[in-house]
Chain A
Amino acid sequence: MSVTTRGPLPGGEYDVTVIGAGVVGSAIARELARFPLRTALVEARDDVGDGTSKANTAILHTGFDAVPGSLESRLVREGSGLLAAYAAESGIPVEPLGALLVAWDEDQLGVLPGLAAKARRNGRHDTRIITAEEVRAREPELGPGVLGALEVPGESVICPWTTTLAYATQAVRSGVDLHLNCRVTSITSGPRPAPDDVHTPHTRHALHTRHALHTLHTVRGPLRTRHLVNAAGLHADRIDRLLGHADFTVTPRRGQLIVFDELARGLVRHILLPVPTALGKGVLVTPTVHGKVMLGPTAEDLDDRTATGSTAEGLALLREKGRRILPALLDEEVTAVYAGLRAATASEDYAIRAHPAQRYVTVGGIRSTGLTASMAIAAHVVELLAEGGLPLSGARDPRPVRMPNLGEAFPRPYRDAGMIAADPEYGRIVCHCERVTRGEIRDALAATIPPGSLDGLRRRTRARAGRCQGFHCGAAVRALFESEEPHR
């Protein structure tokens, strides 16, 4: 078990390597960790989940509005159940708030029955159209003009940061090597094995021929692997081209989001989804598991895969939409503004492709549902790897992990007399807005996968994630972080 952040990579051959430690790549690594294989997870950035996986709306979808019959529809449906169970076991905060798709005009109202029918085709039979009166009773702070809503009871909010970290932590503890700061720049592959070799089950020894290898050239030197999974998110098409495939192109679709202070949490009870119309998916308002309220996202198709900045136009648009949905929200303080890039493709479905002869699986086009579907995607990908000859025997369940709770609806250390009695550091609040204690920061810095930056520490503890953004605690948190740095 190891996490490396610098220096040359270990020699020898890995059985499987996953490129990209987002929520999808980390889920795949965790799934692979069940087998007695030598597995690597390589990531360009200094932390897991530092791409799209950290900057989304954090909804555990039911898949009610997926394209019926698509791979995405199936994997979202399976994945949401798997992740809900895993979250309960691992301490990932989830709040099953249910969603209301609120209709603000006759067009939107007219769309609701069709959406309910679509939900049924996606296996969701519990949706219901409710009257304007009922909507208002359930969401008294909504702006004027509501005509009705579709209720989707199964939709939940989840902590996206803890999810990726739980997968990666469990993978590493089960023997996967995680290599951070390790961008893959090119790939050379040996000739294919003879065709009849490919579909016959064989042992690791049979595969161990000199040519049956991929060499990943990374900024930290080469890494050799027999099987390869491409879960590089926004860059998955580029990795795909390195292996000779050009069947999809990623178009980054930016989503800007505004997060409002905890004092706004009382304004909203459900996930308020927009009604999708020809004009696009629209903007939602949702509580977060961290006790705040989120407004967004925008949907802007871009060319630049690094354009994770917010814009004045984007924020103005969000505020205009937000004012209509929940007028009082706009008077609350904003704690954070950020933007994520969805890895959209021209198609309305995931681009998951197996290339068994190359012992290669590409996981592309995981657009707006990757967090929800991650565990089902992982199980699917491992099946596809088996088609390429990856031996899948000797499976065992990985030891459960228990993640520190970041959820506001669940017991947190600062309110836990037992924890404080056992260790007074859990009573020493450092980040006052978010009530993060020195004990939690200390634990995060000593964890299996320690943070590589203050942002990483924030995703593990919520330190500096509150309304003051470090005015009070920034210096103290940085000092704690830097005191640990020499050990990393």
Chain B
Amino acid sequence: MNRTDPTGRTDRTVDVLVVGAGPAGLALATRAARAGAGRVEVLEREEEPGGAPRHCHHGGFGSPPLPWVTGPAYARRAVAAALDAGAALRTGVTATGWAGPLTLETTSPSGLERITARAVVLATGARERPRSARLVPGTRPAGVFTTGELQRSLHPHGHHPIGRRAVLIGAEPVARHAARTLRRTGTQVVAMLTQHPRATALPGIPLLTRTTVSELHGRGRLTGVAVRHEDGRSGVIACDTVVFTGDWIPEHDLARRGGIALAPGTRGPAVDAAFRTGTPGVFAVGNTLHGIESAATAAAEGAAAATPLLAHLSGTPWPTPGPPLLVQPPWPGPPRPTSRPPRPAPSSSAPPNP
């Protein structure tokens, strides 16, 4: 079944192709493989499977959440379950684009492939908006992080602190985890700020509510953040590290490249109650639908999607698009458009003549 074309791309077919080995993708693969869906293959672009929980070294994972189950332990279990069920797990493989409605192009150290499936599942997760996407003005010094980068930088070998004094932007659970991580590795957290009127403070960390960051200062390394209270008061907090937390956006790159309609508000693929997107045969599950939910919620979605996926494999017709299921946006902001025309081919392929 393997063919290689003149550009060196190998063609293969599978039954179910899952993009993303996080809780949602793994749960779906586990169910589908166990139910005898045929070849169920999970692609993961990172070197290790497990998704976001791998970087969350605190407890509270699982359903029900258990204080002693850490993210990495939870991820290991999910991986073992998928393998056990007979799913194929391929790490270091990136789905880079589409070559057909149910055909993905991939890159990995072993080469380029074009994989066609009877069902494709997008389980690509979410990311936090970084400083630039939040349009925070000022200089561009080092010492500016998202929680994602912070966690990956400090674990598992978190011996040396990332800075001396840190300010956290945001006060949701992810910010509190970031605060604990920073403290554990020797960075003092000098303030936590949120635009909201209320939030849960952490002992020993000043919480500034109704406050936004208005500018970053420093050349080379961050020296401070300018902050402004709703009532107009403002000031500068001296620090060498700032972590932008929360403000999640789905990783919708593949969905958009495939012309799959997005839901207004969340900017994840628009799906019906059975996790079906507007493109027949393409499902979407987990945080790629709605920014951040718990790992258990994402996994529950993956498991729930297995039933309609199996139905699709056995010939149940894809519904014609009905009214889209609207999901409330998790952050305040204007509605965003649902879809864009696909990218035109680059207008040139050769350098100009002088």
Contact = CB atoms under 8 A, between A and B. Distances in A.
A470 B129 CA distance: 10
A409 interface: yes
Contacts of B340: 263, 266-267, 328
B111 A420 contact: yes
B7 A417 contact: yes
Nearest to A86: B354
B109 A337 contact: no
Contacts of A338: 140
A304 B346 CA distance: 40
A95 interface: yes
28 contacts: A84-B353, A84-B354, A88-B351, A88-B352, A88-B353, A94-B352, A258-B135, A263-B253, A308-B139, A315-B135, A333-B129, A334-B135, A409-B349, A415-B112, A417-B8, A420-B110, A424-B110, A425-B109, A428-B109, A429-B107, A435-B96, A454-B142, A467-B133, A469-B130, A469-B146, A470-B145, A474-B152, A476-B152
Nearest to B216: A309
A5 interface: no
B153 A420 contact: no
B249 interface: yes
* The 7 residue pairs across chains A and B that have the minimum distance between CB atoms: A417-B8, A469-B130, A424-B109, A475-B152, A409-B346, A474-B149, A471-B148
Contacts of B352: 84, 88, 94, 96, 156
Contacts of B108: 427-428
Range for the number of chain A residues in contact with chain B: 35 or more
B108 to A, nearest CB: 5
Contacts of A478: 153
A335 B134 CA distance: 10
B9 interface: yes
Given A82-B354, A312-B137, A415-B107, A469 B131 contact: yes
Given A409-B346, A470-B149, A417 B94 contact: no
A432 interface: yes
A349 interface: no
Given A88-B351, A467-B253, 16 more contacts: A87-B351, A93-B351, A263-B340, A266-B344, A309-B140, A312-B137, A335-B133, A408-B346, A420-B110, A425-B109, A427-B110, A428-B92, A432-B45, A435-B96, A469-B132, A475-B152
Given A306-B219, A475-B152, A420 B351 contact: no
B51 to A, nearest CB: 11
Interface string B146-157: 101100110000
A454 B127 CA distance: 21
B327 to A, nearest CB: 18
A47 to B, nearest CB: 13
Interface in B105-138: 107-112, 127-133, 135, 137-138
Interface of B: 7-9, 45, 92, 94, 96, 107-112, 127-133, 135, 137-140, 142, 145-146, 148-149, 152-153, 214-216, 219, 249, 253, 256, 336-337, 340-344, 346-349, 351-354
A255 interface: no
Contact of B8 (A334, A421, A474): A421
Interface of A: 81-82, 84-85, 87-88, 93-97, 156, 258, 263, 265-267, 269, 306, 308-312, 314-315, 328, 331, 333-338, 408-410, 414-415, 417-418, 420-421, 424-425, 427-429, 432-433, 435, 453-455, 467-472, 474-476, 478
B244 to A, nearest CB: 9
A212 to B, nearest CB: 38
Contact of B337 (A94, A258, A331, A472): A331
Contacts of B139: 308-309
Contacts of A424: 109-110
B109 A266 contact: no
A435 B107 CA distance: 10
B274 to A, nearest CB: 27
Contacts of B7: 417
B130 A427 contact: no
Contacts of B132: 334-337, 469
A238 B108 CA distance: 52
A333 B215 CA distance: 19
Contacts of A265: 343
B338 to A, nearest CB: 10
A87 B348 CA distance: 15
A333 B256 CA distance: 13
A269 B137 contact: no
B153 A310 contact: no
Nearest to B4: A417
Nearest to A433: B253
A333 B354 contact: no
Contacts of B133: 333-335, 467, 469
A263 B256 contact: yes
A415 B352 CA distance: 22
Contacts of B214: 312
A400 to B, nearest CB: 14
Contacts of B341: 266
A297 B106 CA distance: 37
Nearest to A93: B351
A245 to B, nearest CB: 29
A478 B152 CA distance: 11
A75 to B, nearest CB: 15
Most chain B C-beta atoms within 10 Å of own C-beta, residue among A309, A471, A478: A471
Contacts of A428: 92, 108-109
A420 to B, nearest CB: 5
Contacts of B351: 84, 87-88, 93-94
